A and B are shown apart, each in its own frame.
Chain A
Amino acid sequence: MNETLDPWDRALLDALERPLVDDEATAEPLTLEQLAERTGISSVLLEMLAREGLLRARRQDPEPRYDPADAEAVAAGFELLEAGLPLAELLDLARRTDEAMRPIAAQAVEVFARFVRDSVEATAESEEEAARRLVAAFRRMLPATGRLVGHHFRTLLVTEAHRRLAGDGR
């Protein structure tokens, strides 16, 4: 851990270490075997997702530990497979989504740092207040971003499907 961090940044880092799902804030990170058990999905597939970077361990402890929220995402992917999407095609979509979203994620973090974090640092009365406000902003923004991006992609899917049905009937 970077010891030169400002106290409010260290508080933010602490918040980043905690599970991403609010109602499971107390849940312990899972090993790959536990994740497989919880989702009913084979460890061959989960290992594959981990190698592809589609499933990211939150820490090494010493073996990789996954967030309980990952179980939900994996279960969602499995639902797509059960509905008839071939795994190979889903993996291709996932890889391309990952690739396309990475620079956007980097830019979003940059925007957060520049316009939220810097302004908190400039206007907070104390270190404690800065830490509190920064963590509160992060906790609010992360789920909101999830809703926003999820909704936007759903809208895109519906629009595209509509265009296609109205266009050539395929």
Chain B
Amino acid sequence: MTVRRIVTRPLEGPVPLLDHVPSVVWMSEDRAMVGFGEAARIEPGRGEGRFEAAAERWEDLVARIEVDDRVGLPGTGAVAFGSFTFDPTSGGSGLVVPQVLVGRQGDRWWITEVDGITGERFLHPSGTAPRPLDRPRYAGSSMPDLLWIEAVAEALRHIEAGDVEKVVLARDLAVWAKVPFDPRLLLERLHARFPSCFTFLVDGLVGATPELLVRRRGLAVESVPLAGSAPRAEDPERDEALGKELLASDKDRREHEAAAASVGRTLGELCVHLRRDVEPWLLELDNVRHLATRFEGRLARWVSSLRLAGRLHPTAAVGGTPTAAAVDLIRRLEGMDRGRYAGPVGWVDGHGDGEWAIALRCAELSGARARLFAGAGIVAGSLPESELEETRLKLRAMMGALEP
């Protein structure tokens, strides 16, 4: 498959976005992009170099495409959506170029069409009744939770021994249904519940994540690492108190600073100007709050957003601190392949602009089967039963989101 010509033209909005079954989706507070079909695919294979390899092939492809972009926003013209594996030794990383893309930024709408394919039909209701759906049915985990708590106990021994300060351990849950899962339902629910998150679908990986790994517009870059979190409460006074506790918590502040410092070091090497929030602030979601620090910088030279994502991955939020030791421990203890869970997910356009987030709170849909993921940060003093319960609740919420 190759792409020769891409045309982007403005649209009179609004247009219903999730009426037809999409192949790729990216939705955030002020931006939505929904793609249909697949015009090209780039599969870089395994290894530490998977981001660079994919970026190189994307840049090669873009150089050969004739682009007629009558809108000129980030994400118009040539654009690819990608998701990458957490672990370099896992397979499944890739970029997808949709045949048709309908997008919106603020109140500006556009449609992008590849090689003369008309996307007109995606602008109107499909007219077909949605398929009947089935509930998600449990089919087991890669690692029984009985063994997972032993992994947590082992991680705690490594923390006590000083090998790592924090390690994020995840577990999965396989579900099936009698008819294929429909990503639209999940996308709509996640976007409605977490409007400030990035809601995504790439190659069946669907989810909503609060963590912006990197955003690039021209030479301007932005990253908002999250680390250190606390629950929310129904009672407003209690909720406010929990927020203040998190801001004042030494343990969470240290964990956060370790994560922020690692982002700062990487961006520092690439930027001429880099400013960061002096104090972390609270990023509050429906069910949890995180400590966040915003970095804003100006790149010293042109580097595509995809390559930046590769440089920043993995962050402490999904690996641990120090990162290399934590990732090694994850590989030994977790007993599963994370696949693209906790890996970068996002989009890159023909100019290298784009947004990449970390695929958390997500499910991997594959026809009538799905794999759900949840992780918990293990630090000194963590209790296996609390971490198990935290992941149980996260997995239950994800299963609930798949209910018809």
Contact = CB atoms under 8 A, between A and B. Distances in A.
A21 interface: no
B388 A91 contact: yes
Contact of B389 (A45, A81, A92, A170): A92
A24 interface: no
Interface string A69-109: 00000000000010000111101100000000000000000
Contacts of A170: 135
A89 B138 CA distance: 12
| Main DSSP-derived SS at the B contact region | helix
A87 B384 contact: no
A55 to B, nearest CB: 12
A32 B43 CA distance: 52
Q: Which of A44, A45, A81, A170 has the most CB of B within 10 A?
A: A44
A86 B141 contact: yes
B385 interface: yes
Given A86-B144, A87-B144, A87-B145, A48 B392 contact: no
A52 B392 contact: no
A48 B141 contact: no
A87 B146 contact: yes
Contact of A86 (B145, B150, B383): B145
A48 to B, nearest CB: 5
A152 to B, nearest CB: 28
Contact of B150 (A44, A51, A88, A92): A44
A42 interface: yes
Nearest to A43: B153
What interface size band does chain A fall in?
A: 10 to 19
B153 A88 contact: no
Q: Which of B153, B383, B385, B392 has the most CB of A within 10 A?
A: B385
A53 B384 CA distance: 15
Interface in B377-404: 383-385, 388-389, 391-392
A3 B182 CA distance: 70
B145 A48 contact: no
A45 B144 contact: no
B385 A51 contact: yes
Given A48-B149, A81-B146, A88 B384 contact: no
A88 B389 contact: yes
A48 B387 CA distance: 12
A48 B150 contact: no
Contacts of B384: 44, 48
A135 B210 CA distance: 62
B389 A91 contact: yes
Interface of A: 42, 44-45, 48, 51-52, 81, 86-89, 91-92, 170
Interface of B: 135, 141, 144-146, 149-150, 153, 383-385, 388-389, 391-392
